[in-house]
Amino acid sequence: MSTDTVTRTAPQAPTVTAVGRITSLARAELTLLARSRATFFAAVFVPLVLPLSVRSTVEDMDLEGAGLSIGSVILPSAVGFSLLFAVYSSLVSVYAARREELVLKRLRTGELRDAEILMGAAVPSVLIGLVQCLVLVGVCAALLDVGAPEAPLPAVLGLLLGLVMWPALAAVTASFSKSLEGAQVAAMPLLLLSMVASGTVVPFEVMPDRVATVAELLPLSPVITLIRGGWEGNLSAAETLGAIATALAWTVLAVFAVRKWFRWEPRR
Amino acid sequence: MTTNEPVIEVTDLRRVYDGGYEAVRGVSFEVGRGELFALLGTNGAGKTSTVELIEGLARPASGRVRVLGHDPYTERAAVRPHIGLMLQEGGFPSELTVSETVRMWAGCTTGARPEGEALSLVGLTRRAGVRVKQLSGGEKRRLDLALALLGRPEVLFLDEPTTGLDAEGRQETWELVRELRATGTTVLLTTHYLEEAEGLADRLAILHAGQIAVSGTPAEVTASQPSRISFELPAGYFPGDLPPLDSLGVTGHEIVGRVLRLHTNELQRAATGLLTWAERTGVELRGLDVRSGSLEEAFLRIARDVSEQDARMARAVQGGTAPKNTARPDKEHVA
């Protein structure tokens, strides 16, 4: 009975599937996220706290005139913050950190395909974002008297599109930074722009028309529109399709940019 | 173990980096099944640049690579399950433990060895619970090797696998590589340790400036190098007092202080002639050193050729400061 490990013939090789590979990578990333306190807190708590600070601002606005309630403004904002901080900002750091540690390069030497590497790394952030959104919706419903969405489908679609689009945008952003610190800086413009102009703090209805038209084309805007509209049940078919088209366009653009420009190794 | 079937085929490979720097300039070689092939070279010779193309990490500017009959870049999915590789520098998240790293990698590898087996192969069993950032440089290299071996690869790429290892770790790694080779694994190794190449490789190539300068079995490469005899000239004697150097089979000589160094392709004839002369004359040859051509000599000679060429080029470029009569031929030589 030979137990020689080197000479033993290979046992029936269990074939690894794409899902298996992504799961394996995702599990490691989740472990890493739990061990990185700063990233973990930024991802988990910032989006939970931010909506509270928005509340006072929102209370000063003339919402009645625009036909909005406090809850219907804060709830989509909360989801938006979750996508921006739990998903986008933290993933930009993850991609940059793994690149600088040469982890991405090493992973590319294995059986993982490029897309699987990026997806596997994104799973923990996306999961946190999803859970957070659900918690926030629950909290808003309970505390702000929002109730159930009038049209759940656009709301769900908005959330799902957001959870696909923002990891892709994070990968694009990470492509254009040279270091971990640089990645945080690179994430700033889109982060700030989205907070100011995507309807998170200031609803489109309150903006001047011209500004609103442009602001609605920003990547976070269709998500906010779909979720808010889903809750209010006041989106026309054209508005719904427009928002979906905007979200898809950003996603396609981001995927294209990643394929073309994503850097797998540090610039030396 | 070696058959005629080439597992790695490289034909006229070229790699040009973004800035236009041509790191690999027409490299060709083949590695047969079960063979261990070593790429040697000084830093910047193009070893890693070449190996990365064969591993499928980058697309060559021109030329052809086949690994197990496939293009490693465009047919990545067909090649990867059959190869294992170790980059020059690790690339593992520093906050994961050794065990977590192996598990993560195993989940991405077809037919992965059990974790315990992989760690015991490289002697890291007792470090399983330690975070990667706390491993020594040598331990990181061994973890890297464990992952390279995880899928029982048919072809193994090792880019400077023993850099950073202590003498014992190096010996253990060599032993492991020998065992793997004995079971039919094809290995492509890069190293700047000459004894590593000499001790492990079936065949080797010395790269310099992106081209193969010499290749063959270690014995062939060594045999192509002149042997060397050096000794201190006895007091009162001059090189002219020796028997005619031609008659000893000496092809060249140099004097450093009182030390005379002779180069020859017929070491026995030259040594016998010299010692017979010393016996007859009754002198003692102090510091006598007789050595066959070695890989080290081949390596150094290639490195020296390069630096001489560089120096000549620098002189030619400086122009004005170089004596006029030598500047012109130098330029011609460079061109």
- What confidence tens digit (pLDDT) does each residue in A118-168 have? 999 999 999 999 999 989 888 887 888 777 888 899 999 999 999 999 999
Mean pLDDT for all residues in chain B: 87
Q: Which residues, listed in sequence order, are joined to residue B234 by a DSSP beta bridge?
A: none
Per-residue pLDDT, averaged over A110-118, amounts to 95
Secondary structure tally for chain B: helices H, strands E? 11, 13
Q: What is the pLDDT of residues B198-253, one digit of tens each?
A: 889 999 999 988 999 889 999 888 888 788 899 999 988 988 899 999 899 998 89
Q: What is the pLDDT of residues A55-111, one digit of tens each?
A: 777 777 777 666 677 777 888 888 999 999 999 999 999 999 999 999 999 999 999
Residue A268 — pLDDT band, cuts 50, 70, 90? low
| Residue A84 CB neighbours (<10 A) | 26
Asked if pLDDT for residue B327 goes beyond 90, the answer is no
B305 Cβ contact list (under 8 Å, min separation 6): B208
A5, A23, A32 member nearest B121 (Cβ)? A5
Look at residue A253 and tell me if it is in a domain: yes
Interface test with A, best of B18, B88, B104 (most A CBs within 10 A): B104
Residue B195 has what pLDDT?
Answer: 86
Look at residue A14 and tell me if it is in a domain: no
Asked if pLDDT for residue B332 goes beyond 50, the answer is no
B131: which DSSP letter?
B
- Tell me what ipTM this predicted complex has: 0.86
Residue B324 — pLDDT band, cuts 50, 70, 90? very low
Could you give the CA distance from residue B208 to residue B310 in angstroms, rounded to a whole number?
A: 13
B89, B100, B179 member nearest A31 (Cβ)? B100
Residue A253 has what pLDDT?
Answer: 97
Q: What is the pLDDT of residues B270-284, one digit of tens each?
A: 999 999 999 999 999
Q: Which residues, listed in sequence order, are joined to residue B206 by a DSSP beta bridge?
A: B40, B214
DSSP string, B4-45: SSEEEEEEEEEEE-TTS-EEEEEEEEEEETT-EEEEEE-TTS
Residue B178 has what pLDDT?
Answer: 93
Q: What is the pLDDT of residues A208-231, one digit of tens each?
A: 888 888 899 999 999 999 998 998
* b/e A85-106 (16+ beta carbons within 10 angstroms → b): bbbbbbbbbbbbbbbbbbbbbb
Here the tokens at position B149 are 């071996």
Closest chain A CA to residue B144: A106
Here the tokens at position B71 are 């293009």
Counting the structural domains of chain A, the total is 1
| Residue B33 CB neighbours (<10 A) | 18
> Are the beta carbons of B108 and A14 separated by less than 8 Å?
no
B80, B108, B183 member nearest A6 (Cβ)? B183
β-strands B36-41, B155-159: how paired?
Answer: unpaired
Look at residue A5 and tell me if it is in a domain: no
Q: A36 at the B interface (CB within 8 A)? A: yes
A143 by Cβ neighbours in 10 Å (0-12 / 13-18 / 19+) ranks as: exposed
Residue B331 has what pLDDT?
Answer: 32
Asked if pLDDT for residue B314 goes beyond 80, the answer is no
Mean pLDDT for all residues in chain A: 87
Residue B105 has what pLDDT?
Answer: 96
Q: How far is B114 from chain A (nearest CA, A)?
A: 10
Q: Which of residues 236-275 of B touch A (CB under 8 A)?
A: none
How many A/B residue pairs have CB atoms within 8 Å? 92
> Are the beta carbons of B152 and A105 separated by less than 8 Å?
no
Per-residue pLDDT, averaged over A190-217, amounts to 86
Higher pLDDT, B3 or A212: A212
Q: A98 at the B interface (CB within 8 A)? A: yes
Residue identified by tokens 């040697």 is B40
Q: Which residues of B touch A103 (CB under 8 A)?
A: 91-93
Closest among B177, B163, B188, B178 to B72, alpha carbons compared: B188
Q: Which residues of A touch B93 (CB under 8 A)?
A: 28, 32, 98, 101, 103
Look at residue A6 and tell me if it is in a domain: no
Look at residue A1 and tell me if it is in a domain: no
3-state secondary structure of B289: strand
Here the tokens at position B240 are 């002219």
Q: How far is B4 from chain A (nearest CA, A)?
A: 23
DSSP string, B84-109: EEE-SS----TTSBHHHHHHHHHTTS
Q: What is the pLDDT of residues A10-49, one digit of tens each?
A: 444 557 899 999 999 999 999 999 998 888 888 888 888 8
> Are the beta carbons of B103 and A13 separated by less than 8 Å?
no
Q: What is the pLDDT of residues B164-190, one digit of tens each?
A: 888 888 998 999 999 999 999 999 999
Q: What is the pLDDT of residues B53-109, one digit of tens each?
A: 999 999 999 999 999 999 999 999 999 999 999 998 889 999 999 999 999 999 999
Max CA separation in chain A (angstroms):
84
Look at residue A10 and tell me if it is in a domain: no
DSSP string, B52-88: HHHHTSS--SEEEEEETTB-TTTTHHHHGGGEEEE-S
Sheet holding B22-32, edge to edge: B22-32, B6-16, B62-67
Residue B307 has what pLDDT?
Answer: 64
Closest among A42, A48, A58 to A199, alpha carbons compared: A58
Here the tokens at position B197 are 């190449």
B94, B179, B183 member nearest A101 (Cβ)? B94
> Are the beta carbons of A113 and B180 separated by less than 8 Å?
no
β-strands B36-41, B211-216: how paired?
Answer: unpaired
> Are the beta carbons of A25 and B87 separated by less than 8 Å?
no
Asked if pLDDT for residue B305 goes beyond 80, the answer is no
Here the tokens at position B103 are 């598990």
Residue B321 has what pLDDT?
Answer: 43
Closest chain A CA to residue B112: A13
Look at residue A226 and tell me if it is in a domain: yes
> Are the beta carbons of B100 and A101 separated by less than 8 Å?
no
| Residue A113 CB neighbours (<10 A) | 16
Residue A159 has what pLDDT?
Answer: 95
Per-residue pLDDT, averaged over B144-159, amounts to 95
- Hey, what domains does chain B have and what are their CATH numbers? 6-217 (3.40.50.300), 226-291 (3.30.70)
Look at residue A108 and tell me if it is in a domain: yes
Here the tokens at position A47 are 């989006």
Q: Which residues of B touch A36 (CB under 8 A)?
A: 95
> Are the beta carbons of A102 and B111 separated by less than 8 Å?
no
Which range marks the domain in which residue A84 is found? 19-261
